[in-house]
A = this chain, B = another copy of it.
Amino acid sequence: MTVLEKINAPQDVKKLSIAEMNNLAEDIRKAILNRVNSIGGHLGPDLGIAEATIAIHYVFNSPEDKFVYDVSHQVYPHKMLTGRKHGFLDSSRFHEISGYSNPSESEHDHFVIGHTSTSVSLATGLAKARDLKGEKYNVIALIGDGSLSGGEAYEGFNNAAELNSNMIIIVNDNEMSIAPNYGGLYKNLAELRKTNGQTVNNVFKAIGFDYYYVEEGNDIEALIRTFENVKDINHPTVVHIHTLKGKGYEPAVQDKETYHWQMPEFLNRESDNNGALSESYTSITKNFLLTKKQNNEPVIAITAATPGVFGFSADFREKMGKNFTDVGIAEEHAIAYASGLAKNGAKPVLCLMSSFVQRTYDQMSQDLALNNSPATVLIYWGGISGADMTHLCTFDIPLISNIPNIVYLAPTNKEEYMAMLEWSYNQNAHPVFIRVPSAELVSTGIPDDTDYSKLNKYKLVENGEKIAVIAAGSFFGLGQQVADELKKQTGIKATLINPRYLTGIDKELLETLKKEHKVVITLEDGELDGGFGEKVSRFYGNSDMKVLNFGAKKEFTDRVPIEELYKRYHLTKELIVQDIKEVL
């Protein structure tokens, strides 16, 4: 029996010797590799935090003492020590345990967390409530160095410093964000590491924190000593621990970026570049950017700490040189920075994932849209998915498309995407967002010569009668299927429309539909509330046209298989045709 198998709750950790705890750390790492190799997940940061998690549970008393794990990239060992080891040891039960902090799983988790930089703010709330109620216990936020670049983290630190009571922030410094860190703060962390925490330049002390440094952040004894020192401390304190990302799995130590997160079966894979040669929306984007760079244009590719998602490999970054910026986990800055770049004649192309563009609304509105800065923003992964509830990508259309001045485009194939990208890059009139299709690459083979400066002109793909299908972006293929199915079941040849613009209504085209059509349906790969289809419903409100909007319900779904969601939302050709027949 391994040590881990004997641990059912945090109190079991307290009975262990140092040697047993070191064995436990190895057991934890094996279990991490076991799970991630089976179902994918966060690898490097979890491997590195095993010892610290053991030391935390040895010293503190969860759940009375409350831990908040930033972004949950380091929460696996905590889960294993708090009654959830089956989620890492028993492959038949992996899916019972999510990859993120989740109170519905355990009283040892206090929040659902999956976006970065939130832990200190949330923990400050816990601590303040404790103080208001006159209670006594430790509140501990554990935040990685990467997450420190987000503005919410800073706002949290700034206010945590005002607590006149216990608050412990463990900064887990593994010298990496998802990709290498970027920004002035990281020079300070490097200096602190180099001087064993002794340099006078200390951003944490400067803003009012007590400060402890642990160079051997994978040494359980050293960690226990320091945690015992700060336990029950009566003022805000930072414990800066230096850990080894990927510890125990050498490829993850050598290539920290690649192994931050891994897909299933990575242990048996020879290379991570399988399929990288085939054409995709990602490769098209990269080639576009590299060509502009080679032509000496003032292009600048920007990411907020997730270059890998966009295929911005080390090689690509090197080729782009000064024409590439990874701003760190700082989406707000990324948008404002792009606005400044565009206003001064550079050509910013900012890539963001749908789930993370949520981190910047006011900047889209005030810094970008109000200034009509002609930046290009590419939104990846937008659409319904079986993702964890913290990483849903269903909300970007309502979020972005209701901001004035922004043009939000939804290409349906390669040629459209290339034409939109080229147009956006060259124009100077609008901030342009493009929802990069999350579906596989579709190519018509026919170059798209549309003039996209004529805003809100929908494309009439098939002219039919009675029923018009307006199918946006990655749901255009579904629209075609619906039209085919309608023909098959009813004999009606439906009109098929590719709207291309998510931010406006083609009044002229919609008006003409009134003549020969009774029903208009809209299809969008995202939340219906506040989205595209409702704008069409509003347009036809004063007419006899029937309108059916298809898309996602307003809800947070959690690892629900996509087929089940499509069924739930009536997003299959059969269910849609059935709904249409009911109103015919």
CB within 8 Å of B: which residues of A? Answer: 66, 103, 110-115, 118, 121-133, 149-162, 182-185, 187-188, 200-203, 205-209, 236, 298, 300, 322-323, 325, 327-328, 330, 332-333, 336-346, 348, 356, 358-363, 365-367, 369-371, 389-390, 395, 398-399, 401-405, 527-531, 533-535, 537-538, 540-544, 546-549, 554-556, 582-583
Return chain B residues, CB-CB under 8 Å to A205: 201
Return chain B residues, CB-CB under 8 Å to A153: 151
Return chain B residues, CB-CB under 8 Å to A337: 121-122, 124-125, 128, 156, 159
On whether the beta carbons of A327 and B132 are closer than 8 Å, the reply is no
Cα of A328 to Cα of B125 in the assembled complex, Å? 15
On whether the beta carbons of B402 and A529 are closer than 8 Å, the reply is yes
Nearest B-chain residue to A236, judged by Cβ: B184
On whether the beta carbons of A185 and B207 are closer than 8 Å, the reply is yes
Minimum C-beta distance from A368 to chain B (A): 10
Given A327-B159, A339-B122 in contact, is the A206-B209 Cβ separation under 8 Å? Answer: no
On whether the beta carbons of A132 and B208 are closer than 8 Å, the reply is no
On whether the beta carbons of A533 and B538 are closer than 8 Å, the reply is yes
Given A346-B129, A538-B534 in contact, is the A122-B367 Cβ separation under 8 Å? Answer: yes
On whether the beta carbons of B111 and A339 are closer than 8 Å, the reply is yes
On whether the beta carbons of B129 and A344 are closer than 8 Å, the reply is yes
Minimum C-beta distance from A466 to chain B (A): 15
Minimum C-beta distance from A146 to chain B (A): 12
Which of B121, B131, B534, B549 contacts A333, CB < 8 Å?
A: B121
Given A110-B343, A125-B339, A537-B541 in contact, is the A184-B208 Cβ separation under 8 Å? Answer: yes
Return chain B residues, CB-CB under 8 Å to A325: 128, 159
On whether the beta carbons of A118 and B363 are closer than 8 Å, the reply is yes
Residue of A131, A362, A403, A554 most packed against chain B (CB within 10 A): A362
Nearest B-chain residue to A544, judged by Cβ: B544
Which of B110, B118, B341, B402 contacts A530, CB < 8 Å?
A: B402
Minimum C-beta distance from A5 to chain B (A): 32
Nearest B-chain residue to A335, judged by Cβ: B121
Return chain B residues, CB-CB under 8 Å to A187: 161, 207-208
On whether the beta carbons of B132 and A161 are closer than 8 Å, the reply is no
Cα of A149 to Cα of B110 in the assembled complex, Å? 26
Return chain B residues, CB-CB under 8 Å to A159: 182-184, 325, 327-328, 330, 333, 337
Return chain B residues, CB-CB under 8 Å to A556: 369-370, 404-405
Minimum C-beta distance from A580 to chain B (A): 10
